[in-house]
A and B are shown apart, each in its own frame.
Chain A
Amino acid sequence: MENRDEAPPGGVTEQVNDGAPDTEVVARVLGGDGEAFGILIRRYEPGLLRFATRMLGNPDAAADAVAESLVRAYRHLAQCRDPGRLRSWLYRITGNRCRSHLARRHMNDISLSDAPPLADGSDAWAVLERSEQVALVERALAALPAEKREAFVLKHVEGMSYEEMAAVTGARIPTLKMRVHRAREALLAALEEVVR
């Protein structure tokens, strides 16, 4: 990966609000003010990075996917048919890019041996070290099929409605609900196996 910059101290906060609604910022960019695209980056980059990281299981690959997606979004901004729903459009491009990455390498390639050893089965969730909790959850998420992982992350990590998820993924709402339900079942089974 190239040129990955460190975020400001304390991390990037969610949903930077530079005042102007997306439609106005998009109009500025399309009018030739390329620098205004920075507003959109600051506004949506944290969520896109989080989404891509959860999809790909690798921060470097996620940063690459998000950077490529944002450049692509800039170049094709005029094709955004509803700038009022820019967030869905950006997630769709990023999701598409993540799927391309995943098609080139299987999620199973992610090394699980890097995860710290898990506590004894008799231990409860609360007594697990934070790093162990993170490793456990990430491993359980990575074990999900990509479609279910995507649905779970959009719903529970990005906090989207099923309507917005449908706009992002192109899948129907009942299908998405089913994917989320199945993902919850798989995650819960994986977590309970350890903490009970």
Chain B
Amino acid sequence: MIETNFAAIDWVIVAVYLAGSLGMGLLAMRYIGRLRDFLVAGRQVRLGLLIATMTGTEIGLVTLMYAAQEGFSRGLSAFHIGLIELVCYGFVGLTGFLIFRLRREGVMTIPEFYEKRYNRPVRVVGAIILTLGGILNFGMFLRAGAQFVGGVTGTVSVETINLIMTVLLVLVLAYTILGGMVSVVITDFIQFVVLSVGLLVATYFSLKAVGGWGQLVETGLSARGEGFLNPLAHEEYGFSYAFWMVLVTVSSATMWMPSVMRCLSAHNPRTAKNVYVWSSISFMTRRVLPAVWGACALVFILGVPQLREVFLEVPEDQRKQAVLAMPIFLGHVVPTGLLGLLVAGMLAGFMSTHDSYLLAFSGVITQDIVSPLRGGRLSDRGRITLTRVLIFVIGVFLLIWGLWFELKGTLWDYMALTGTVYFAGALPVLVGGLYWRRASSTGAMLALLAGLVALAPIFSVSLNEHKRTIALLAFAMAAVLMVVFSLLFPDRPKAEDEN
């Protein structure tokens, strides 16, 4: 049992925050009229709120956990992923690559665009793969949240942690089911403010605890070698890894449903572009600051014999998971009171990610799988009801998957792989659909299916060692299949095109 500074007052701070957040979320219920109010807040969301909600969603607790784990395991080299995110999101924002045209299409989901451009089967298959990759990706969030709460509070049992996470999930389900996207953007806004303060507080106390930047670098280099600072010298990084990260980041920026729903909620296409430009700073922040905490956690743990033993000295199969290093470290170095505020901020991140993801994926299943299979014969009221039921069902899945599934590698690698299942196919399908007249339904269908290759390393330990190669192969295969089969099997011109 490892004690931390988390005390009764911190629990009170967390409880007050959660109650307030839920109240604000439920307030939004009265504004839901149409389906588009529920899914995309009536397309009335302006720039400031869009940036807040996008940041609130994408700086989730799991993001902070995996970014910190990278810092703990791979040192300050992990910063390079933050630079990649800054450049990629900035590029998408400045050029409008994919998102400008997508917003102009006036669709509510990406698979909806697939039907508009290709045909209904591509929409349904695309939606199934999107949902599969997305929900698998989502599946680890609850466990990561539980690990954070357990680590930072230090003295709570596994059963109590699971109960806390279940309660949190129920709270999120409540306001998301009832208020949809309107609840989501309001609670995300509150969470953005609280979380932003938490990020800066944690960074300050982390660096203070290890004696500053110089000491961090000196100790880190001595413990981890040159790879602590140089990403090109680190065996887990290098050029091919960076290239994979560029593909994943551009794909995520333009096609990851929870982010893209912000774009599709924008007042107009120009606003959608501006969101990405300004949000690129947040995306860099979400990688860099937690990586500092993780690296500082390494230095701190090296100085505490009890922690050094369980994290670094015992045989590898007996070690505490690296992902726990950051929460245990913060639990020791952040003072009581401020720690409660920090945890409230982190739980804010947890909730804001969950509400957006639940809404995004349930919306896709309703709009892009069930409704097309029923020939579009589903009323607005029916769609809202179905979406609400699916939010609940996905929530139950998260509980089960989070308890059962064992990770084969690091948390970030799992995220990148499950993302690749969807991105590998969706990237050429969307790029082809928006920029290439000759992109065909046959090419699109095969490209989407190629992404399933990335499932293999998720479930196999031996294949997990080759995850980078398999992921890049999935992207390459999808692109080739798209081009070759579009040329070999062009679509017949549609009646309206002939007219």
Q: Do A and B bind each other?
A: no
Which residues of A does B touch, CB under 8 Å?
A: none
